[in-house]
Amino acid sequence: MIRSARMTRRQLLSALPAAAAFAQSPARYQLGVMATVFAALPLDDALTRIRKIGYRYISMSRQHAGQPVFDPAMTKPQRQAMLRRIRDLGVQPFMSLGGFGAEPTTAEGLARCLAQLDLCADFEIPVMVGAGPWYFTKFPTQPKRDRDWQQEVSRFYAGLEKAIRHAESARVVIALKPHTGITARAKDCLDVVKRFGGPHLKIAWDAGNISFYEGIYPDPDLADLAPHINSVCIKDHKGGRAVADFPVPGQGNIDHEAMFRTLLAAGFRGPMGIERVDGPDGGMNKVAPAVVEERLIAAYKYLTPLLDRLAAA
């Protein structure tokens, strides 16, 4: 009897590159790392470290060791080749901070925003994270003059409306995260999403930002906003308002168990990217890669059992 030469789906998937493993079974949650934590390292070294720890997803860094890896100037073939390279290293891009530095308050800013959305689409990234306009002349004591602030907000909303239309055609979701001003707290974020409605503008929750910028933890209105949250920037914060100390998750002000329980109860299943673990060191670029790796291991050991338990429930 001659056996059929046709491969089963399991055999086919096992024969594909490492990235195909993502198709084998849907994850109960998507926990990853913002690759900017290793921006000083070459791409292969950075992503190998991330995957070795156990993370399967990344938020893209624009450069690694000074070399562009996620840039609107890249051609279509370059983007396709880079995506294959990243997947062959065993990780999947699942979000981007492309909305920062591309606020649509001016024609130039809007053009950058649209280019970032197209870049996300070519990398098959479903979520582009950004924020509203910056509220302060000097943080935390000097807000902008109200008349000037209101004009800036009006320009932002006008540009955002155009960006949302483009996001729909690109099949990418814009996710604004807490960052003072119109997205200062959950109640403010809720006002923004209600203003526009629709599936292509959501919120990227960042409890660490709420603690750092507003001095509030937990945010009492998170449960109301939760149905509109499609991604999470994981960042713990230690100390009072404006104290720049962002420790390993689980070592600061944020009650991650309560936060994730609230989000999961609202149906959240989106990307969750660890953004900072620099503590009081003054920025990720000031922390040695070996120390960053140690802290990401500690974050993994804290977050994965917690998410396993909550997702199972």
Q: Considering the chain, what is the average pLDDT of its residues?
A: 92
**Single-letter amino acid code for the residue at 211:** S
Average pLDDT over residues 146-168: 98
Q: CB 286: neighbour CB atoms within 10 A? A: 9
Q: Do 272 and 30 contact (CB within 8 A), yes or no?
A: yes
- Domain membership flag for residue 13: no
Tokens representing 279 are 């503590």
- Domain membership flag for residue 231: yes
Closest CA to 285 of 44, 6, 37: 37
* Rg of the Cα atoms in the chain: 20
Q: Do 39 and 61 contact (CB within 8 A), yes or no?
A: yes
Q: Do 22 and 46 contact (CB within 8 A), yes or no?
A: no
Q: CB 115: neighbour CB atoms within 10 A? A: 16
- Domain membership flag for residue 139: yes
- Domain membership flag for residue 206: yes
Closest CA to 249 of 263, 235, 233: 235
Dump pLDDT digits (tens) for 194-243: 999 899 999 999 999 999 999 999 999 999 999 999 999 999 999 999 99
Dump pLDDT digits (tens) for 52-72: 999 999 999 999 999 999 999
- Domain membership flag for residue 71: yes
Helices (H), the chain: 9-15, 43-53, 76-88, 107-122, 146-170, 186-196, 207-209, 222-225, 256-265, 289-312
- Domain membership flag for residue 21: no
pLDDT of residue 3: 34
Query: For the chain, how many structural domains are there in total?
Result: 1
What's the pLDDT band for 7 if we cut at 50, 70, 90?
very low
- Domain membership flag for residue 270: yes
What's the pLDDT band for 100 if we cut at 50, 70, 90?
confident
The separation between the first and the last C-alpha atoms of the chain, rounded to the nearest angstrom, is: 48
pLDDT of residue 201: 98
Tell which phi-psi region holds residue 109, choosing left (phi > 0), alpha (psi between -120 and 50) or beta: alpha
Dump pLDDT digits (tens) for 277-305: 999 999 999 999 999 999 999 999 999 99
Q: What residues make up the domain containing 150? A: 26-312
- Residue 95 sits in a domain whose CATH number is 3.20.20.150
The angle at the Cα of 311, spanning 309 to 313, to the nearest 5 degrees, equals 70
- Domain membership flag for residue 4: no
**pLDDT > 90 in the chain, percent:** 89
Average pLDDT over residues 34-52: 98
Give this prediction's pTM: 0.91
Helix (H) or strand (E) holding 136: strand 136-138
d(CA 173, CA 175): 6
Q: How far is CA 120 from CA 57, 70, 80, 227, 233, in A?
A: 15, 9, 12, 23, 17
Q: What contacts 24+ positions apart, CB below 8 Å, involve 11-18?
A: 17/84, 17/87, 17/88, 18/87, 18/88, 18/89, 18/90
Dump pLDDT digits (tens) for 254-267: 999 999 999 999 99
What's the pLDDT band for 5 if we cut at 50, 70, 90?
very low
Sheet with 127-130, edge to edge strand ranges = 92-95, 57-59, 30-34, 271-274, 229-234, 201-205, 173-176, 127-130
